[in-house]
Each structure stands twice: as C-alpha cells, then as structure tokens.
Chain A
Amino acid sequence: MTISDEAALAAGFDRALRGRGVVAGTRRARTFAEVLLVLPARTASELYWRARAAMLPSIDDLDAFHAAFLEVFGSLGDADALQRLVRTVDAPRREPRDLPKRESLPPPPSDRPADERAAERAPTQWILASSDHRLTDKAFEDFDETERAAMLRLIARVRVAAEYRASRRRRAQAHGDRFDFRGTLRGASRTAGELLRRRASARRERLRPIVFLLDVSGSMEPFARALLQYARVTAVARPAVRAFAFATTLTDLTPLLKRAGDDSLMSAIATSVRDYGGGTRIGAALRAFNNGFAQRGAARGGTVVILSDGWERDDPALVGTELLRLRRLARRIVWVNPHKRHAAYEPLARGMAAALPYLDAFLSGHSLRTLEAVADAIEGRIA
C-alpha cells in the first residue's frame, strides 16, 4: 500500500460517513490515514478498531459508522466476515441517545426555487403588518395555516429569557473585589518596579441553563409547536438551551434546535419525533429526563419549562415523585398548561394535581402575550 492508498481509503470512508449524516471531517480522515501508515491493520478486526478510534465522533453515531464501515471495507475483503465482526464487537451497554436522524431533514430552504419561497412569504408579511395586535391574544390552537406562519415569525419578537449567575471565572475590573497580583506586578515592570496602579478583578456572569420539556401528544401539538419555536429562537440567541419532546418516550431535540434554518423545519422536527400524536406518559418521560440528563447536570442551576395538560396515562404518583427529584436538581420548575387560560379551569387531570405542589410557576402560555409571561417566569419574575 502506498501513502496515497491510505489517504484515498480514509477519504472514501469519510465520504461514506458523511453520506450517512456523520461529519467526521478532514482532520480525522488525515489521522486515520496516518494510523494506517504507522500501525498497519493485519486483520479486519484491527482495521475496525483503528477506524473507530480515529473516525468515530461520538458513540451516538455508532450505527451510521457500522453501515459506512461495511459499505467501504465490505468491497475490499470478505463482506460476510466483516458483517459478523460489526455484529459481535463489544457494543456499549448504554443505548445511544435517541436522536432523530439527520438525513430525515428536508434540503435547506435555499435549494427551493426562489419564486416558490417568495410566493410563500408574500401573504405572511401582509398578515404580519395588518393584524399583529389581533394575533397577540389568540390561542395558538385557533390559528389557521396562514396565520400560523406569521405566528412563528412573531414568536421571534418575544423577549429571550436570560438569567445570570456569578461565574467562577473572573475578569479585570478596576474596582473589582479581588486584588490582581499578576496584573499589578506586570504594570509595575513598566514603571521601574514602582507599584503605581492597583489592578483588581471581578466575577464574570454566566447564563443559567433553560430546558424545555414539551408534550407533543394530540391536543398539545399547536402549543408544543409554538413553544418549540420559542426554544429555537432562544437557542440561537444564547447558549445553554436544550429541548426535549415527549409523549410516550423522551426525544432529545437539542441538536436540531440550531440547525433549523427555516420555519418549515418546525414540521420536520415534528415528524421526526416518532411518537408525535400518541398517548402521554408524563411520569415516565420525567424519569427518563432525570436519569439521563438532569442527574448528570443538564438542569443544574437552571429552569425547566414543562408543557403538558397533565393527562397521565399511567400512575400519576410517578409525576409527583419525579418532580420532587427534579426540584432538587434544577433551580426552578415552570409548568405551562394552555387549559389554564379558561376562567373555569381546575387542575382535575390527576397528573396535573400531583404536579402542582412542586411548581414554582404555573402558567397558560397559550398566546404570544402569555409567552412573554413564560419568559418572565423562566427568570423567576412571576406576575
């Protein structure tokens, strides 16, 4: 094998991975080529582990990696042997995170003909100009198709929630609370060792995380769309935002939040959530979130926003238990239930009744105006 053979092999493998939505990148491909050069693989198994150490970006990408491996190296040698190898490797016990596949996304909006996009935008802007005030108090479920597009754009104008806490990191500040030895001495070296100027530092501030847990089952769907759009807007504007969808199982939407370049992607996110429109298991979803994310620090010091009507299919006691746990892991829990907008609303759903004692704020969040209140509640300012 000459150098170019290894490079070609690595590049081809990178291409195959990319075809399956895994972006390993040129740097990894170069590393892989170098590995093959210094540590030549003698068996299929050796080749597999070399490829995996160099080219696998994350354990979540393992399935795509296996497929690409079979495609590229299956043609080089005994395809059946490779198949067996991929199947028998000591796979991790932990299930990879259940992410929607990237290839299920539609092509970026720029690929569509320009006139089609213009046609879609024109009526929207007209509504936006003429009826902003009318839409402000309208419940998200009462929007028709054309208004909905305008609504998604209007959500971008809702204030982005941002709450800060003191960071352990410091920055230079003339009147900071801690004397800066290093800065002062560096300054002294410019004045012949004379300590003329006192320098000090103060703590920096950090954004507290926000986690959205969205019930996407049946009647919640239009509200989940709106809140997901708000999550998207927030995630683009600031770091430390995560979003999850649940109905029967919990799905992490975080990687899609910032990748979505167009409003039409909202529907792609919706369809890629496998259990969209099914029944609701709130307690089980909360437990999955607590075990897999909150306990590992995803909600620590931050606000968790839960959207649900509280109709629990299983035991409602589990909702209470898991919320109690979440209360210890997060700083604040905000529950959004659109039914609360009705004057006669009472928390009769058993899951809702079980949840109430553990909430810091309980809001309707059903319209653009009440979404502002959700932003306030995330920051702990409750009207």
Chain B
Amino acid sequence: MPNSIDVDDLRRRLLGAGYVADAGLATALACAVTLERAVLLEGDAGVGKTDAARALASVFGAQLLRLQCYEGLDLAAAAYDWNYGKQLLAIRAAEGSHEHTPDLYADEFLIRRPLLAALGASRPRGIVLLIDEIDRADDEFEAFLLEFLADFAISIPERGTVAAAHPPIVVLTSNRTRDLHDALKRRCFYHWIGHPSVEREIEILRLHLPAVTPELASDVARASAALRERELRKAPGISESIDWAQTLQLLGAERLGAEVFEPSLGSVLKYPEDIATALASASSIIASAGGDVV
C-alpha cells in the first residue's frame, strides 16, 4: 500500500487546486486514497460533488476518467467493447490470403471504456475514476460495480480477468434520487456534502471568481443562504451562487441591490414559482445580503 495521506495536507492541496473542502470531506477523501477504496459523495445538486473529483485528480496530477451514469448503462458502454468492423475485416483479409483465422480478441480489437481504462494506471494514484450520478444507473450496473470495486478487476470472457497494477482513485457521486444498495455503500467511504456556511461560500466564490469584489461575494453568499431558508422547489447550490455572482459582475454591479436583484434571479433560481417567492420577499433578502463584509 502506498504511503498514507495526511488529512490537513490534502485539504491544503485541494485548496491549491481551487477546491474548498471541509474537514469531513478531506478526511473521507484521504481515507479513500490511502486505503485504496472508493468514496461515495452524496448531496443536493450543485454542492460540488463532481468538482471534488476534478480537484482530487489535479492534486495527484492524475488523469480524470468520467463515467456519466444513466438507465441501461451496460458493459459495452462502461467497461469495454469489441471493434466489430475491424474483426470482420480481419476475417475477410485472412480468407483472402488463405491464412489462419487471426486472434479476434487481441488488444487491437479491444475498445477500452472508462472502467477498463481506469485499470491501466502506470503509477500509483495515476488515475481518478469519477462515476457520476450513480443513482441514475439501474440495479444491474450497481451489481456489476460490486465486483469492480472489490477487486479492481474486470472479467472479459474472451480474455480472462484484467486486474489493475495500481488501483484507481474511485469517486462515486449521487444526488440521492433513490437509495443505493447497501452492498455498494458498504464498499465505500461515505460523505454527505451539505450546503456551505456563509464564510465557506464566500471563500469558494472568491476562489472561483477572482474578479468579483469581496463585497459582492459576501452579498451573494448571504443572499443565497437567505434563499435556502425559504421554502423553494430547488434551493440554490454552490454552482448556482457562482453563476449568480458572475452574472452580477457582468451586469456591472458592485453590491447586490434592488436594481440588479430581479434581472439576475434567473441565474440562481430555475422555477417560476421559486422566482415569485423570492421576489415577494426581495427587500428582506437584499437586506440580509447587505451586511458588513466578513
């Protein structure tokens, strides 16, 4: 097993890669990397689950392989497939020149999809495999992942088992549209990413948008926090508040005032009912935003 990762050190390096992680997330990631086990990140949409994997890849200088899940995702799309056209041509060519039938399952005919490619790291921690929105995949795919996550190996009937010399760092994310099987969760470290505190959100906004003034970042973070307290269909995540701050900056605003509140609302709330709710209490949201800069 490669050397262990210090939690605080990882946190600092994630920050260097542009990702603000709290102690819990940093611990879960450090445990997963050190023990070579997958980590499952759950949380509402837009709280930075996918970005955590990106930042992790950049910290270790690793290649990021992303697998977006959907219903019906099968081995041919997730793990490997054979290049049938090439196989057929090889058969025809062998017929024409009266040679032996070639090995149809040689490397040249194999198409490596993300899961198989993730087993091919040339050094420890050389690949980060992001299995995104696993809750969208179906039970069959989850069941297949059990074998993959336990052994970091894939059995190809025509070839035998392919095992990883250096296991990839595996990050699974879920929006929790359904509960995952416990068999899968047991094989992973688990962390729930909640909405950030105001201070952390300001830090994130400033990190992502260096051009945004501290005042505006503080206003947006506070206003987002105020929005989350209201009963909305979809409370804004961090990615929405980043969009919001960027929109306000494009509108030339230096603070979040009444004149830019309504025009920019479409960047942070995506339901007409939610926008109506926010407009109804616009003045109190703007007032809670306009506090002193932290």
Chain A contacts to B: CB under 8 angstroms: 25, 27-28, 31, 34-35, 38-39, 45-46, 49-50, 52-54, 56-59, 89-94, 167-170, 181-182, 185-186, 188-189, 192-193, 206, 239, 290-291, 295-298
Q: In the complex the two chains form, is B23's CB within 8 Å of A45's CB?
A: yes
From A28, A53, A296, B186 is in contact (CB under 8 Å) with: A28
- Residue of A at shortest CB range from B24? A49
Q: In the complex the two chains form, is B195's CB within 8 Å of A35's CB?
A: no
Chain B contacts to A: CB under 8 angstroms: 1, 4-7, 22-24, 27-28, 30-32, 34-35, 37, 39, 42-44, 70-72, 74, 76, 81-82, 84, 87-88, 91, 94-95, 101, 104, 138-140, 158, 175-179, 182, 185-187, 189-192, 194-195, 197, 228, 231, 233-234
Select the residue from B22, B43, B91, B234 with max chain A CB neighbours within 10 A.
B91
From B101, B175, B182, A192 is in contact (CB under 8 Å) with: B101
The minimal Cβ–Cβ distance linking A301 to chain B, given in whole angstroms, is 10
From B94, B186, B192, A59 is in contact (CB under 8 Å) with: B192
Residues of chain A contacted by B44 (CB below 8 angstroms): 94
Q: In the complex the two chains form, is A169's CB within 8 Å of B189's CB?
A: no
In Å, the complex CA distance between A30 and B200 comes to 33
Residues of chain B contacted by A296 (CB below 8 angstroms): 175-177
In Å, the complex CA distance between A169 and B73 comes to 7
Residues of chain B contacted by A167 (CB below 8 angstroms): 71-72, 138
In Å, the complex CA distance between A169 and B142 comes to 14
Q: In the complex the two chains form, is B91's CB within 8 Å of A49's CB?
A: no
Select the residue from B24, B87, B185, B233 with max chain A CB neighbours within 10 A.
B24
Closest 8 CB pairs of A and B: A168-B72, A92-B194, A49-B27, A53-B28, A181-B84, A59-B192, A297-B177, A296-B177
Q: In the complex the two chains form, is A185's CB within 8 Å of B82's CB?
A: yes
In Å, the complex CA distance between A188 and B44 comes to 49
With A39-B34, A56-B190 known as contacts, the answer to whether A186 contacts B158 (CB < 8 A) is yes
Q: In the complex the two chains form, is A38's CB within 8 Å of B24's CB?
A: no
Can you list 12 A-B pairs, Cβ within 8 angstroms, ordered by A? A31-B189, A39-B30, A52-B27, A57-B186, A93-B195, A168-B72, A169-B71, A182-B76, A185-B82, A186-B158, A291-B233, A297-B177
From B5, B74, B186, B194, A91 is in contact (CB under 8 Å) with: B194
In Å, the complex CA distance between A89 and B4 comes to 25
Q: In the complex the two chains form, is B35's CB within 8 Å of A34's CB?
A: yes
Residues of chain B contacted by A186 (CB below 8 angstroms): 158
In Å, the complex CA distance between A181 and B104 comes to 13
From A54, A169, A170, A188, B31 is in contact (CB under 8 Å) with: A54
In Å, the complex CA distance between A338 and B192 comes to 42
Residues of chain A contacted by B91 (CB below 8 angstroms): 188, 193
Q: In the complex the two chains form, is A168's CB within 8 Å of B70's CB?
A: yes
In Å, the complex CA distance between A167 and B234 comes to 29
Residues of chain A contacted by B5 (CB below 8 angstroms): 39
- Residue of A at shortest CB range from B180? A58
The minimal Cβ–Cβ distance linking B119 to chain A, given in whole angstroms, is 20
Residues of chain A contacted by B34 (CB below 8 angstroms): 35, 38-39
In Å, the complex CA distance between A55 and B233 comes to 32
In Å, the complex CA distance between A167 and B73 comes to 11
Q: In the complex the two chains form, is B228's CB within 8 Å of A93's CB?
A: yes
10 more CB-based (< 8 A) A-B contacts, given A53-B191, A193-B94: A25-B186, A34-B35, A39-B7, A49-B27, A49-B28, A52-B24, A90-B23, A94-B44, A167-B72, A290-B233
In Å, the complex CA distance between A309 and B44 comes to 34
The minimal Cβ–Cβ distance linking A5 to chain B, given in whole angstroms, is 18
Residues of chain B contacted by A27 (CB below 8 angstroms): 186-187
- Residue of A at shortest CB range from B105? A189
Q: In the complex the two chains form, is B189's CB within 8 Å of A53's CB?
A: yes
Q: In the complex the two chains form, is A90's CB within 8 Å of B72's CB?
A: no
From A49, A54, A57, A185, B23 is in contact (CB under 8 Å) with: A49
Q: In the complex the two chains form, is B70's CB within 8 Å of A46's CB?
A: no
Residues of chain B contacted by A290 (CB below 8 angstroms): 233
Residues of chain B contacted by A31 (CB below 8 angstroms): 35, 37, 189
Q: In the complex the two chains form, is A54's CB within 8 Å of B186's CB?
A: no
Q: In the complex the two chains form, is B192's CB within 8 Å of A92's CB?
A: yes
Select the residue from A39, A91, A170 with max chain B CB neighbours within 10 A.
A39
The minimal Cβ–Cβ distance linking B118 to chain A, given in whole angstroms, is 21
Select the residue from A27, A94, A167, A290 with max chain B CB neighbours within 10 A.
A94
Residues of chain A contacted by B81 (CB below 8 angstroms): 182
Residues of chain A contacted by B95 (CB below 8 angstroms): 193
With A25-B186, A39-B7, A59-B192 known as contacts, the answer to whether A169 contacts B94 (CB < 8 A) is no
Residues of chain A contacted by B74 (CB below 8 angstroms): 169-170
Q: In the complex the two chains form, is A39's CB within 8 Å of B177's CB?
A: no
Residues of chain B contacted by A91 (CB below 8 angstroms): 194
The minimal Cβ–Cβ distance linking A260 to chain B, given in whole angstroms, is 18
In Å, the complex CA distance between A89 and B22 comes to 10
Residues of chain B contacted by A34 (CB below 8 angstroms): 35
In Å, the complex CA distance between A189 and B139 comes to 32
Q: In the complex the two chains form, is A182's CB within 8 Å of B72's CB?
A: no
With A34-B35, A91-B194 known as contacts, the answer to whether A185 contacts B84 (CB < 8 A) is yes
